[in-house]
Amino acid sequence: MPKLNSFKVKVETGDQGTAGPVMFSINRHTLPLENVVGDTGAGDVFEGGFEVNSFAHSLTLVGPEKGQWHIKKITVDFDCEGSQPYSVTYGEVTLDETSQANLWQDPPQLVFDV
């Protein structure tokens, strides 16, 4: 499990937006994203991030407290200790007050030619 220095998340909202604020959960601690840009209305693009500087056991995007949030695409840029920065893009999902989306993905395996 690598140490997560920081991450940035870009969320493309689909047909149904949410009022926010956009919260994430790291190791079951729920926090608001920082350095946010954009919006979470229908068709909008929202970006935010967080300086974690800790080991990530779990990282999720928390659903809205009221209503549904239809997300078309989520792109997460990870900066982990001991590996090159990497990006993961996730597909469509609809979140609500009972759900959260897993954002965590281990760094890609080292592959080399021999």
Peptide bond into 21 cis (omega under 30): yes
* Rounded alpha-carbon distances, angstroms, from residue 67 to 31, 70, 85: 19, 10, 34
CA 57 from centre of chain = 14
Query: Site for other proteins (CB under 8 A): which residue of 33, 52, 80, 93?
Result: 93
Give the residue with the Cβ less far from other proteins, 43 or 108.
108
What residue has token string 């779990």?
58
Per CB under 8 A, the list member of 6, 68, 83, 105 interacting with other proteins is: 105
**Residue 63 lies near other proteins (rule: CB under 8 A):** yes
Binding site residues, other proteins, CB under 8 A: 30, 57-60, 62-63, 73-74, 88-93, 95, 98-102, 104-106, 108-114
